[in-house]
Amino acid sequence: MCCSTAKWKREVVQDHKFDFVDVEVFRDGSPILRIKYGVLFILVIKAILIYSLDVGTAYQLITNTNLFGTNKDTGKKNIGIVIDANVRKWLYVVSIVASFSLLLWEWRKGRRIIRSRDIAYSYTNVVAYRFYSIRSYSHFCFFAQIGVTEHLWNRIAFFVYFTLKGWKRMIFADGPRQFLNALTLWDLMFPNGQFDWRPLLPNGAADFAKRAAFFTTTLSFCLWALSAILTAIACILYVPLLCNIRGNLKEYVCHKIDKR
């Protein structure tokens, strides 16, 4: 079944562009859709927040050389010190450069899609999708109508496709930083080999640098862990999905969008 030929084939349709669609017709003022529109802005802010948090954590690690070094109470080295400070610093630099390089590449690709005004590619590209949606609520409503499907395999296909789009960023750009973040969290919460609640307590300003690093690192790591879990689920679903669609996933998603 997995090796058989697909029963569908995507065809290039010239009129499937925004030039031939009046998106104002799809404008919907329902409260649920407006809430989803607000969530879109939250996601954009979250993306900016992740960059800011990682840069802030990197600053803490680079400028505070003793922040995660020898424990003052026991004189023992924390786990994070096993990795040399210079190595940690360059891991952060490389991962941040990789992150912004991927962002630049996505923006260049998104610009080409925006200029093409192709509906299917705009829907499947994060930059183009958010550009059109933030610029116009009517475009967001139009995209929301495209995403409506009752077929289970179509829902799975859309979930898998959009989730796996970010695997390069998750592994190569965010992975090294989050590995260091995990070591940082361990050093803060288990300084003597036992769990310590003090990093969670707001009182006292003596260890403000450690407390600030703890909260920024925790939030950054939790967001990455959530993305990793969703990516793992998408990978598991990809195998049965491939047997069902029997073709290229991106072409299948664009094919379903063109049919709407």
Domain boundaries, the chain: 18-258
Q: What is the pLDDT of residues 19-41, one digit of tens each?
A: 888 889 989 889 999 999 999 99
pLDDT at 70: 46
pLDDT at 221: 87
DSSP SS3 for 17: strand
Averaged over 144-150, what is the pLDDT?
A: 80
Residues with Cβ within 8 Å of residue 186, at least 6 apart in sequence: 78, 79, 80
pLDDT at 160: 92
Instruction: Give percent of the chain with pLDDT exceeding 90.
Output: 22
Cα 23 to its chain centre, rounded Å, is 28
More confident: 177 or 79: 177
pLDDT bin (cut points 50, 70, 90) of residue 74 is very low
Residue 128 and residue 113 in contact, taking contact as beta carbons nearer than 8 Å? yes
The overall average pLDDT reported for the chain is 79
Residue 9 and residue 258 in contact, taking contact as beta carbons nearer than 8 Å? no
Instruction: Report which secondary-structure segment, H or E, holds 50.
Output: helix 31-63
Burial of 80 (0-12, 13-18, 19+ CB in 10 A): buried
pLDDT at 131: 92
Alpha-carbon distance of 89 to 97, in angstroms, equals 12
Residue 60 and residue 212 in contact, taking contact as beta carbons nearer than 8 Å? yes
Residue 234 has pLDDT above 90, yes or no: yes
Alpha-carbon distance of 120 to 257, in angstroms, equals 6
Residue 218 has pLDDT above 80, yes or no: yes
pLDDT at 75: 46
Task: Give the global pTM.
Answer: 0.72
Q: Which amino acid is at 139?
A: H
More confident: 41 or 252: 41
Of the ranges 18-22, 114-118, 165-169, 204-208, the best mean pLDDT one: 114-118
Residue 8 and residue 249 in contact, taking contact as beta carbons nearer than 8 Å? no
pLDDT at 175: 87
Please give the structure tokens belonging to residue 115: 């200029």
